[in-house]
Amino acid sequence: MSELQNQVAIITGATSGIGRSVARELGGAGMRLVLTGRREERLRELATDLDACETIAGDITEPSFPGRLLNAAIDRFGRCDAVFNNAGVMHTASIEETDIEVMARMVRINVEAMVRVAYTALKHFRTQGSGHLVNVSSILGTKVRPTAGVYAATKYAVEALSEALRMEVAKSAVKVSTIEPGLVATELQDHFEVHPAKAFGIEQPLKPEDIARCVRFMLEQPAHVRIPVMMVLPGEQPL
């Protein structure tokens, strides 16, 4: 039996890619889940594969939305033990081609909403006396490349906030972790004119399931163990 059996997790960005795979991995470990994303039909489809699951479709950038997710976990399952803070989008463009409104929307999702979810979770965990927040960063939270400056900046923000929060909850039973995926085969970059896998010559990018296993590993560690940061790359990715 997994150490996660009957624990409760909130997963944002659960309708595709990493979020969906993490939901399946943690559901398979016996966790009870509250899942959210923008596409209600996909949430309902995912829920049919899981035993104990609550779904809430909506816009993660709404200020009250993180509180709704936490209340749903408590109302349905009586507690919340983990939050996988995963919702995010990726847009890149040259200086000349950048649409500022698109970039600003990305900042609201990747930074503002991430911050709201993180603080909502940690305030609850502090009151509860335990809990684990896992924020999703990126390899581009540690490096930058041309045209991806705004996206990288959002992930650098995840890194900075996560480390500050980890320090703040040190010596308590509350945990804060950050996961930094390299190139993963998801829908995140499907709108790119040239997909990064082709641009960088990566024939075998990571699968969402690879990241899901790593997230489960983080959550299953004993109470005295902390994993502040985990970077996960495909073998062909030098960056």
Burial of residue 154, with CB atoms counted within 10 A of its CB: 0-12 exposed, 13-18 middle, 19 or more buried: buried
**Catalytic site includes residue 156:** no
* Domains held by the chain: number: 1
Residue 41 belongs to domain spanning: 8-232
Is 18 domain-assigned? yes
Is pLDDT above 70 for 191?
yes
For position 139, what pLDDT does the model report?
96
| Residues in a beta bridge with 83 | 10, 133
Closest CA to 183 of 142, 138, 217, 229: 138
**Residue that the structure tokens 């045209």 belong to:** 147
**Per-residue confidence at 1, pLDDT binned at 50, 70, 90?**
low
Is 214 domain-assigned? yes
Q: Catalytic one among 77, 84, 125, 151?
A: 151
Task: Tell me the percentage of the chain whose pLDDT exceeds 70.
Answer: 98
Is pLDDT above 90 for 121?
yes
Q: Return d(Cα 88, Cα 95) in angstroms, integer.
A: 22
Is 3 domain-assigned? no
Is 54 domain-assigned? yes
For 53-62, the pLDDT digits (tens) are: 999 999 999 9
| Residues in a beta bridge with 180 | 231
For position 2, what pLDDT does the model report?
82
Is 192 domain-assigned? yes
Task: Tell me the percentage of the chain whose pLDDT exceeds 90.
Answer: 88
Is 1 domain-assigned? no
Q: Return d(Cα 113, Cα 60) in angstroms, integer.
A: 6
**Residue that the structure tokens 């919340």 belong to:** 80
Is 175 domain-assigned? yes
**Per-residue confidence at 124, pLDDT binned at 50, 70, 90?**
very high
**Per-residue confidence at 202, pLDDT binned at 50, 70, 90?**
confident
User: Comparing 35 with 197, which gets the higher pLDDT?
Assistant: 35
**Residue that the structure tokens 């829920």 belong to:** 47
Residue 221 DSSP label: S
What is the average per-residue pLDDT within 175-186?
95
Q: What is the CATH number of the domain that holds 118?
A: 3.40.50.720
Give the sheet arrangement for strand 8-11, strand by strand: 53-57, 32-37, 8-11, 82-85, 131-136, 174-181, 229-232
Residue 81 in tokens = 């033990």
